[in-house]
Amino acid sequence: MTLVDSHCHLEMIADTAGVVAEARAAGVTQIVTIGIDRETSRRAVELSESLPGVYGTVGVHPHEAHTLDDAALEELEQLAARPRVVAVGEVGLDYYRDLSPRDAQRHAFSTQIELARRTGLPLVVHVREAGEEAMAQLAAEAEGLTVVMHCYSLPEYVDECNERGYYASFAGNVTYKNAAGLREAAARIRADRLLVETDAPFLAPVPNRGASNVPAWVALTAALVADVRGVPADELAALTTANARRVFGLAEAG
C-alpha cells in the first residue's frame, strides 16, 4: 500500500532523514514539506533536493503575513522555479490567532495567489476561523488556479469546494472524538479531490494524539477516512496517492 503525505513540516522535526526513511518503510513514498516563511521555504527546497521522495512548497503563512515585502516575494518566486518545488503555500487567512494584522493577511494572500498564477503552481491554503472571507477571496481572485485546502476545516463549504474543484486534504484531527463534522466532510468530498496529510509535527492522529506527529502516521488518518467513506484502506490509499501525484505533478517513483 502506497501513500503520499501531502503536507508536513519536515524542518520542524529533528531527525529529518530518519523520519523520511521511517515513512518510506511504512509505504509513504512521497512527502510534500511546506514553507511558511522565507527561511522555511529555503529549507523546504533544500530538503526536497537532498532526501528521496521529498518535494517542497514555498510561501508565507498568514501568521507571518506582515513579513511579505518585495524582497521576500522576489525570493519566493526564484525558489518556486526550482524543479522539486510543487506549490505555493501555505498561504491564507488565520483569524483564530491573528498573529499578523488582518489587512496584512489579506494582502499577503492576494499577492501569493498571483504568485501561483505567474508560476503555474497549485495554491496550498490555510484557513482558520476565516472561512467566509477566505472562500470569497478565492472566488474573486483564484479562478482558474488549482487550489488545495490544507488541513480541511470547512465542513459547511463541502458542496462549494466540490463545485469549484478544490482539493481537500485531511489531517490527523479528522480522527479526534469531537471532529464529527470533519468526518462527514471527508465522506462527502469528491473522490478525485481527496488528499491525506499529517501536518507533522502537529495534529498526530488517534491513537497517537498528543505525540509529535511524523509522516508515517498518515496511514492512520487514511484508514479513518477510508472507514467513513466505506471503502477498503488500500483503495483509499491508491485514490489519494493518485490525486496527490496529479495535483502536485509528482513522479511515480520518488
Whether the pLDDT of residue 254 is over 80: the answer is: no
Query: Could you tell me which residues are beta bridge partners of residue 92?
Result: 126
- Report the distance separating Cα 247 and Cα 57, nearest Å: 13
Confidence of residue 252 (pLDDT cuts 50, 70, 90): confident
Query: Whose grid coordinates read 499529517?
Result: 198
Q: What angle do CA 22, 25, 30 make, to 5 degrees?
A: 80
Mean pLDDT of 92-112: 97
- Report the distance separating Cα 152 and Cα 245, nearest Å: 19
Mean pLDDT of 98-109: 97
- Report the distance separating Cα 209 and Cα 182, nearest Å: 16
For the chain, list the domains and their CATH numbers. Answer: 3-248 (3.20.20.140)
Q: What single letter denotes the amino acid at residue 30?
A: Q
Query: Whose grid coordinates read 472571507?
Result: 133
pLDDT tens digit sequence for 203-225 = 999 999 999 999 999 999 999 99
Taking the CA of residue 155 as centre, how many other CA atoms within 13 Å lie in the half-sphere pointing to its CB?
Answer: 10
Confidence of residue 251 (pLDDT cuts 50, 70, 90): confident
